[in-house]
Each structure stands twice: as structure tokens, then as C-alpha cells.
Structure 1
Amino acid sequence: MIPTKELGFLQKVNQYPKTTYIYHTKIEERLDMHSHNKHQLTYVEGGAAFLKTNDNSYFLPARHYVWIPAEMEHFIELKTSVSMIRNIYIPTHILPNNEFYSKMGIYPASNLILEMILYTENWSENIFEKEKSKYQYIKTLGTIIAEISKNPLPVVIPTTTNVRLSPILKHIHFHVDQPLLLKDVAKLFGFSSRSLSRLFRDTLDISFLQYVKLTRIILSMEKLLQTELSISEIAYASGYNSLATFSNTFYNLAKIRPVDFRKTNREISK
């Protein structure tokens, strides 16, 4: 058997299928797309991050946690430096039957959930069943999360490795603060408007306009949490000429107004 200290991070997580595994760190584990045999609960403090799966990119804002089902391929990309990444890995067999555990989701971290995560701050790596109080604590955390986490963050950007579409998506991300019209982008990349529209629908299952809209709203979320820009400045920096249009679009996608999104996330992160 390989000594534990010589195992890689993923090997350590998977080494004992029945243990819970705790890993809090200020240093990002730079992992490629991967999966593991346990559910993963991750809370990122002091920065912005994206969860990438094979199909989508999920923005992970402040005061939210991500639930990643066992065996789901993913990796987490940090957009800024962070103060702490808190990871709790939970074996599947200790949790009750609940559809919640089989779906990836990003949820607001209530005071109760946050306090329970922070309580494990000084725990490290494997917790075996014989450590009854700690083991039961993690089991309880997993059970409570499924009971109170009802509304996942709905803002998701689909991703693709399609060689024709990937450079167009990159162009949108780099020019999201500028006018982005289907006909102009299509012409720039040698498509007709109709063929580019069909490519978006067939590959990503959303329209060109919807993709631009999602990209702009996620950019605005980053700016709301990481800058001191006014709501109007963020609206214009995100490609909107009207504050009302920006606010309404943000609300339609995130179910919260931009000013409330900033206020709520900043107040409860203090």
C-alpha cells in the first residue's frame, strides 16, 4: 500500500470509500476535470469562482456553496485570489435517499450551514466511522443541507468544445461590454445569421441572444461583489445602455435585483 503522505490529493479523497474527508486550504489544488467517489460540498471565501462541468459553467458567488454529486466530472476555477476554500467530502452511503444529492447545485449558505461548515475548520483529512461524534456531525450536515436548500442559483452558462463555436464564445466574453449583434458576430466569423443562430441552438440549446445575456449577467455579478462601482456603472460595463433593462434582466435570471444581490452577499459575508 502506498503511504498516505505520498498519495495525490484525489487519491487521498478516494482512498477510504467510507470516510468523510475534510480539506480546508488557502492554496488552490489545480486539478483538471475529475470526479471522486464521494459527494463534495465546497464553500469559497473571499473571492469569485466558477464550477466547470462537461456541459456548463456555474458562477459561484460569495456566501454560496456548491454541491457536487459523487462521480460527476468537474473542476473549480478561481477568478480571483481567495482567503479560503473549504471542502467537505461525504460518502454516499451515509446519506438518506433524496433526489437533492444526485444534482449539482449552487445554493445560498444560510447562517446555520455556514456555521456548521466553519465548525470543521480544525478537522483534517479522513474521519473514520469510529470517530462517532465527528462522523455523525458530517452526516447531519449533509442531511440538513438537503432539507433547507431549495432554490439553486439559476444562472448557468453552457460550454462546448465545438471548434467552430468555441472562438465565437471567447469573442463574446472578451467584448461583452460592447454591442454584440448576431449579424455582426456572424459576419466576423464567416457565418450567415441563420447558420450561426442554428449552431448556437444545436450545440448549446440556447439562442445567441440568451448566451450574450447570461454572460453579461454573470460578469455583472462578479463586479457587484468585487468592485465599488455603482449599479449604473456596472450596467454599462456589462453591455447595457439602460439601467432599467439591466435591473429587469438581472431579476428575471437571478430572481433578485442587482442592488439586493450586492447588499445581501456583502452583509452576510461580514
Structure 2
Amino acid sequence: MGLIASLPEIEKKRNSVFVMHEKSEKLIPLHRHNKGQLSYVEGGIAYITIENLTYVVPARHYFWIPRGMWHTLRLGHKATVLRSLYFYAHDDATDPFYSQLGIYPASELLIQMINYTECWDGRHVGDKDYNFEFLVALKKMLPEKSRKALPIVLPATNNEQMQDITDYLERNIGKRLTLGSVSKQFNIGERSLSRLFQSNLKISFLQYLKTIRMIRAIEMILKTGKPISEIAFAVGYSSINSFSDTFHEFVHARPTDFRKP
């Protein structure tokens, strides 16, 4: 049973943990559930959209979505495996972690524990099952293991002028793009363009450009076998050191780390 078909099943047993491991490339449309969702992304990339914000989840990271939060989920590569645990929510008030969306690098211990749950794929595990305490322990360790949230968030807007500008940046991501050159392209002043980004996207022009470049770089690293230097050039960096430093600023890891098994 796929994730979309399993959505009603998740809600059937309020105090259980529902286990779902799926290899897929698809869009899971806008939905919510009354359980907290822990999902580990393996072998690809996932995108979570909440209102006008899209959060990027690279491989070897996991995310937590609180109960009741409306979201859309897209898996960006056919080899992506999403290993999900949907947890009971009666103890969520014990830590602020459980009430907020977060994306985090996964430790080796957490990866092993999540992978072990594949033996219960497609099942509810409740307090009458011998393995329930294993899942209780896993949930309780999350706040302690989740100190550094991943800050890759891409805002969106319904403003048509801004959409034209952001589409242009996406299409020309490998070129030398500056506030001045983009302003000339759209025949508006630099100050006006800067204000457009702040008023519509709540982010500066430079930060938006860095963000889309890092997202494209992560996608290329995970989906292709191209050398890191070629990827850096393809997303607009002429210096591999500058690219690596910016990448580390966003994901707390070097580009080569994403190639490690």
C-alpha cells in the first residue's frame, strides 16, 4: 500500500505508531493527520510545502511534522525512500520539539533505529505489542538528537512580477547574477527590486539567490554523478572554495559528504 492510500489508515488507531516505508517519486497532496510524522529521507530529496514556504530535505536527513499541520509532500527522485513513523500525540506537550516543523541531520544511531522498523512496514504498533517500547524510546530521543535544524526554506509569492523575476533566476542560475544586472533585465531600480524581495518574500535578493543555488546543487549532487567542481560552476560559482563554504553554511556539511554512502 502506498503512502497516499495509507493516509486514512494512519488515523485508525489513535495511540499507536504507524510504520510506512516507501520508495517513490510522487506528490502527496495537501493533507494533515492527527499524529506527529517522523520521516527519514534516503537516496534522494524531499520537499515539504506549508502555505507559501517550501522546506528542502536532503538525503540522510529527517523531518518532524507536528500533528494537525496542513502540508504537501513531494519526493524529488524515483530512488528516494521515505521511512516514516506516525506517532501517537498524547505526550507531545512534554517538549517544544513536537509542536514545530523541523528538519535535521540524522545520526547513525537514529538511522539504524529507523531502518530497523521496516520489519513492521504497513502496520500499527501499539502498547500491547512487544516492540512498542522500542518506538517509545525512539520518539523520546528526538528532542535530544535534534539541536541543529536545517535552514533551507524557499518562500513563494502570488505576485506576478515577483514570479517572473524568480523564474528568470531559476532559468539563469549558472550565470553571474547581481541585483544590478537583474534590475536592468526587468527595467526597474535596484532599490525597488530589493524592496520587492523583502515585501513579497521576506528575504533579501542575495539570500534568495543563494538558496535556489544551494537547492539546485543538492539536487545535482544527489541525482547525478557530476564532479563537485562542475556542479559549483553550473549553479553560478567560479570558486569551489566559495561554493563549499556557502554549502556548509546551509546544510552544516561539505558537498562531498552527500556522496558518502
Q: Fold match, TM over 0.5?
A: yes
Residue 231 of structure 1, aligned match among 228, 233, 245: 228
What letter corresponds to residue 12 of structure 1 in structure 2? E
CA contact (8 A) 1:28 1:85 kept: no
Offset of 1:130 from its aligned partner?
A: 4.3
Say yes or no: does 1:75 pair with 2:61.
no
Say yes or no: does 1:173 pair with 2:170.
yes
Structure-2 change in CA distance of 1:31 and 1:256 (3 Å): closer
Q: Deviations over 1:164-218 (max 9, x none)?
A: 3223222222221112222333344454332221111012211111100111122
Q: Any stretches of 5+ residues in structure 1 without a counterpart?
A: 1-6
Aligned to 1:266: 259
Structure-2 change in CA distance of 1:246 and 1:26 (3 Å): closer
CA root-mean-square deviation: 2.3
CA distance in 1 between partners of 2:160 and 2:30 (Å)? 19
Offset of 1:141 from its aligned partner?
A: 0.9
How many residues end up aligned between the 2 structures?
258
CA distance in 2 between partners of 1:87 and 1:256 (Å)? 24
CA distance in 2 between partners of 1:35 and 1:123 (Å)? 22
CA distance in 2 between partners of 1:256 and 1:28 (Å)? 25
What letter corresponds to residue 93 of structure 1 in structure 2? H
> Once structures 1 and 2 are overlaid, which stretch shifts more, 178-187 or 68-77?
178-187
TM-score by length of 2: 0.88
Residue 149 of structure 2, aligned match among 149, 152, 155: 152
CA distance in 2 between partners of 1:35 and 1:166 (Å)? 28
Sequence identity percentage: 38
TM-score by length of 1: 0.85
Offset of 1:143 from its aligned partner?
A: 0.7
Residue 39 of structure 2, aligned match among 37, 42, 45: 42
Pairs within 5 Å for 1:1-270 = 8-28=5-25, 30-95=27-92, 97-127=94-124, 129-189=126-186, 191-258=188-255, 262-263=256-257, 265-267=258-260, 270=261
Q: Deviations over 1:108-128 (max 9, x none)?
A: 111211111111112144525
CA distance in 1 between partners of 2:5 and 2:46 (Å)? 23
What letter corresponds to residue 266 of structure 1 in structure 2? R
CA contact (8 A) 2:30 2:71 kept: yes
- Partner-residue secondary structure (3-state), 1:206: coil
Q: Any stretches of 5+ residues in structure 2 without a counterpart?
A: none
CA distance in 2 between partners of 1:27 and 1:251 (Å)? 28
What letter corresponds to residue 230 of structure 2 in structure 1? E
Offset of 1:66 from its aligned partner?
A: 1.2
What letter corresponds to residue 245 of structure 2 in structure 1? N
- Partner-residue secondary structure (3-state), 2:94: coil
Q: Deviations over 1:127-165 (max 9, x none)?
A: 253433333222211111222221122222222333332
CA distance in 2 between partners of 1:213 and 1:141 (Å)? 35
- Partner-residue secondary structure (3-state), 1:239: coil
CA contact (8 A) 2:25 2:77 kept: no
CA contact (8 A) 1:177 1:236 kept: yes
Offset of 1:35 from its aligned partner?
A: 1.5
CA distance in 2 between partners of 1:27 and 1:227 (Å)? 18
